[in-house]
Each structure stands twice: as structure tokens, then as C-alpha cells.
Amino acid sequence: MATWSSLLFQDSSSPLMEQLIFFHDHAMLILTLITVMVGYMMIALVANKFTNRFLYEAQSIETIWTILPAIILIFIALPSLRLLYLLDEVSKPNMTLKTIGHQWYWSYEYSDFLDVQFDSYMIPTQDLPADGFRLLDVDNRTVIPMNAQIRVLITAADVLHSWTLPSMGVKADAVPGRLNQVSFMANRPGLFFGQCSEICGANHSFMPIVLESVPVKTFTAWIRSV
């Protein structure tokens, strides 16, 4: 979960988020090197009192500063395309979870388990327990098994919403009359928080998402008790 003064990404909870963080670091390293090099050249150009008369209309240096950025863009584009395909890949999911956005709460359906479904509302501040998270905790948490491939089908019942879990690397629009699909795998137990990321009305800020990752045995016991 994000905390005060956090400047970077949340700690990854899925392999997809790990790949997203790796790509971010890769791109930022290239951008930093470019910024340092261009800054050094600008300072050297201003500070230098001499003029190289062979530099004007030089075909060789124009060729270099055309080809070099193209090569740099290839080093950014190839990992980016690989990651895009990984994010869209949904192969042999162990469980399917359907998520429906409403004004202003979420509904969940476990259609693999005898039509288990429930609504998830934010707990008002005055009703929070002592260890609750203000504006983030819900009355019914979404429980998933750890180390299992989860497919999430996302839609909305009224207006546009967006189902977002930053630590899982998941963000998909909930569009009325349309099913969007995402996939992820939680590689550690815990509580993972998200919020609607599409402005959907007056209470847009008050429809959080809480995902609880538990071992498979605990999940099986929970699904039997629902």
C-alpha cells in the first residue's frame, strides 16, 4: 500500500508488476544517460570559446545523431512490446473472478464456485475498527488464492469505472455493456489496496478495492463458508 511521501512504485505483489518496475528502471536509466550527455554538451558548447569550422554542415555528425537515437528507441521499444504482450496474455487461468462497478461500490462474482457473489462497500470512518484503513477498507474483501493464475472479467452497471490494483500491475476500465479481461498472480499473501481510477460521479473517491491473498487451503475454507 502507498504511504506518505512515497515517490516510487508500490512493492510488487505479482510477476507482472515486477516486470513493469524493471521496465521503468530500464527506461529511466536510458533517459538519465541522455539527459546527462545532452547537458554536458550544452555546457561545453557555451563554455567553449573556440569554433570548429569543420563542424558546420558536417554530414558525418548528422548521420550519427540520426542513427544513434533510432538505436536508443529500439532498446526502449523491444522491452516495451514484450511487456505489452505479457500483460495481455491470459492462458489457462485457475480461477475466474467477475467484477462489476456500480455507483459507488463493487460487486464480485465467483462463477467457478456455485455462483458465489457479494457487494463490497467502503466502511465509513465512524465504523472503522481500530486497525482499519480510512477510506480504503471495505466490508467484504475479495479473497483470492496465492500463486494461482487469476482471470478478472471487468464491467460496469451504470457509468465508466476503472478497476485498479497498483501493487499487482493491474488497471482496466469497467465499461457498461462490455467485458474487459485482465490476468495476474499474487506471489505473496497479504492485503492489497486499490481504488476506482475513472471519475464516475460524486462518490468516485469512496469505492476502494481490497484484495486479500491467502494460501489455497485458506481460500478453500473461505469459499465453503460463504
Q: What is the pLDDT of residues 84-96, one digit of tens each?
A: 888 887 778 888 8
Q: pLDDT tens digits for 24-55?
A: 999 999 999 999 999 998 898 888 887 776 66
The domain limits of the chain are 15-48+58-88, 95-225
Omega cis (within 30) before 4: no
Residues 6+ apart with CB under 8 A from 153: 96, 97, 98, 99, 179, 180, 181
- pLDDT single digits (tens) 200-212: 889 898 999 999 9
Confidence at residue 201, expressed as pLDDT on a 0 to 100 scale: 86
What is the fold of 95-225?
Answer: Immunoglobulin-like (2.60.40)
